Amino acid sequence: MSQMHLKKTSTAQEIKRDFHRRGVSIADWAKSRGFDADLVYVILGGKRKCLRGESHRIAVALGLKSEEE
């Protein structure tokens, strides 16, 4: 039986720390990927479940969710 390799997801706090550590603003990250910066902030604030659509794509790009979630 083959073992499935799942990408580890991160917490919002870990992602924010990583942005800070790398000196990248969340707004610049969002803009460079064509995402709405306000929506990215909402997602990192835990105010969306990110079940489908753009919020799900953002959560996957941030590493909050895997593609399959």
Token pair 């659509």 in the structure block, residue: 53
Tokens of 32: 């460079």
Model confidence at 54: pLDDT above 50:
yes
CA distance 8 to 26: 21
Compare 63 and 3 and report the one with higher pLDDT.
63
**CA quadruple 46, 52, 58, 59: dihedral, nearest 10:** 50
Compare 2 and 20 and report the one with higher pLDDT.
20
Q: What is the pLDDT of residue 40?
A: 97
Q: 9-47, pLDDT tens digit by residue? A: 889 999 999 999 999 999 999 999 999 999 999 999 999
**In the chain, domain spans:** 12-62
CA distance 21 to 55: 24
